[in-house]
Amino acid sequence: MQWVKVFMTLYILSTFSSTVAAAEEFQVCNYEKVDELISVVQDDFYKIRMPRWEKDSEVLGTQKPDLIFDKNNITGSDVILLPFIAGGIQHKKEYFALYKCRDGNIEYSSGNFAPLK
């Protein structure tokens, strides 16, 4: 069911006509650089989401996992898709953050846990 949400999210984002790839440094919403938006998502993830997502914290083994953002796949215009991986002590998990430029709201979708190799 989670992958259906991810697929639908990616499909919706692909329909936006003015999609820009983050491989080229570009202004995103009200931020000068992609790194500024990544910092906003990291702050939200650590301070608001992880304390509420007890199962994720438990399986990852920490409330502050290492976050690795895939800058080459950050896309969007009015809604920005930021894929990243959260790596914990024994497991990792893929997440997709959707940042809405209009109101600064961030929503998340995620994949399954995978053992670290």
For 2-12+24-115, CATH number? Answer: 3.10.450.300
**Can you tell me the distance from the alpha carbon of 25 to that of 87, in angstroms, rounded to the nearest whole number?**
25
pLDDT of residue 22: 44
| Residue 92 Cα distances to 31, 40, 42, 55, angstroms | 29, 21, 16, 13
- Residue 86 is predicted with a pLDDT of 95
- Look at residue 33 in the predicted model and tell me its pLDDT: 86
For residue 12, the model assigns a pLDDT of: 52
Residue spans of the domains in the chain: they are 2-12+24-115
What letter would DSSP give residue 28?
B
Residue 90: per-residue pLDDT = 86
Q: Where are the alpha helices (DSSP H) in the chain?
A: 2-14, 34-44, 50-52, 54-60
| C-alpha dist (Å) from residue 41 to 54, 64, 89, 108 | 19, 13, 21, 10
pLDDT (0 to 100) of residue 27: 63
Mean pLDDT, consecutive 10-residue stretches, the chain (117 aa), reads 51 46 58 90 96 92 94 89 94 95 94 81
pTM of the model: 0.76
Q: What is the dihedral of CA 32, 48, 62, 55, to 10 degrees?
A: -130
